[in-house]
Structure 1
């Protein structure tokens, strides 16, 4: 069942968070929907412009539509992640998205407001929510590549005016996380004093945390044991930090890197252990199961398990 994220955010604020999962492949979609239905947990399926270019938006949306029929009790929203105006307007016109993100965070404040407001006007006419971003995250994801020197925390003093001027529906903030597998290289972690200040200035307004993957150390080791060369010092967002962030109004937590690491681990191990095989279906099934297991654990961590029954739909 497709549900507006607004229903999710109203219900979860301060109590639990909605996992927002970036999908690229059929295996990820199946694993996610299996877990969502089994856990009776709400979730957001999201795709980046790179994912849309990889297969075509119609293909991704077709997989999501098919999964919703196969798993009819799965309750979810569909979101465009990190789009520009062209991406957002295309998604809005498709009548297939519940929400879109306009990422103008690299622009000066007033330009960010202007670009975000243009998308909001178009989206709200079509009953689509808009996620905006204030502050710049470092890291690498898809075609995004921001070094630490260019990253900047969200300034709490700007959030109230930004939300008022743009009329956006949720706000992604930069509070210490980063995109990709190399998070917290400076060791500071999530800046909870910034989150607290933001919540004080815009109470009950949905906050979004990008770069929410845990980057499991065991996955890194297993990948490298089977020929990978990932940085073993990579750090993610700890479980304690995630659960603490929810108290400060974080309603949506984006997850992408963890599923990519699981993909690398499953396939490296399979072909290393079975060099005579070449059938993609066998490791594909293992990846579906691994995605499902991962998501069931994530629903539990975020407090989303069983929450569909409590939603006012």
Structure 2
């Protein structure tokens, strides 16, 4: 039987990647966004009707208010979407007895820890966006205790507004780029997130007699013991400046324009919202419980760049780097 996913946020990076990856892996994906589903105003009854109509087996809550800086001046809207809207989706999935995969963020932490964050570390968001997502996590798990809340970070992909696409655009407009070098994290491709979500959906709906997913792991997400918070990012780490330099190197290797990237400090690039200096997430719990691991961020970057800047053929002459 074909597994059917219901995904919120039709035009988001992850929803778009799921819509593409799902059929390739034998899944049916229904991605719903505005105006059919507006998380700012939707209630659980409306979401329940949409999920039922889709015939979904698993719900993926990927829609969110992600404008980090604008959230500082629109806090009510950020909370309506990231807390109240997420809770409505969770209540609907719980009513229907469906597994729920809810995406969250590294911005629930303040970045003061010197090591990568684990799920058990206390949250202390620095801004409205992070607070709205943290409150969303709590609301989701209250409404659907067996939901998987998946924190990811520094998401980018071949579609939508993201850091990688911004760097490529600016490289076409400027002779040099200046990028913050004192914030570190795990750049994570939306394409890799989509593949991991599909893996989790398949595992969460496996028959009850399926062998254990990981060492000592329960077998089904429907059990509250299997729910909770998990970190899910690409392996490896870098700074925003290191990420930008890798993007430029990849662009040059594909015969596209690349410019030098100068390292600056956070203080040299003030923004309305504060960012955590350390966004690294420890993803070992996801690997232990679900046997799901995302590839290294450099691999994900190469895959996305190949989509945006196809490599030159061996007969073509590459531009000097």
Name the structure with the higher helix share. 1
Question: Which has the higher relative contact order, 1 or 2, with Cα contacts under 8 A spaced 6 or more apart?
Answer: 1
- The answer to whether TM tops 0.5 is no
State which structure, 1 or 2, has the greater radius of gyration over its C-alpha atoms. 2
TM-score, length-scaled by structure 1? 0.36
TM-score, length-scaled by structure 2? 0.36
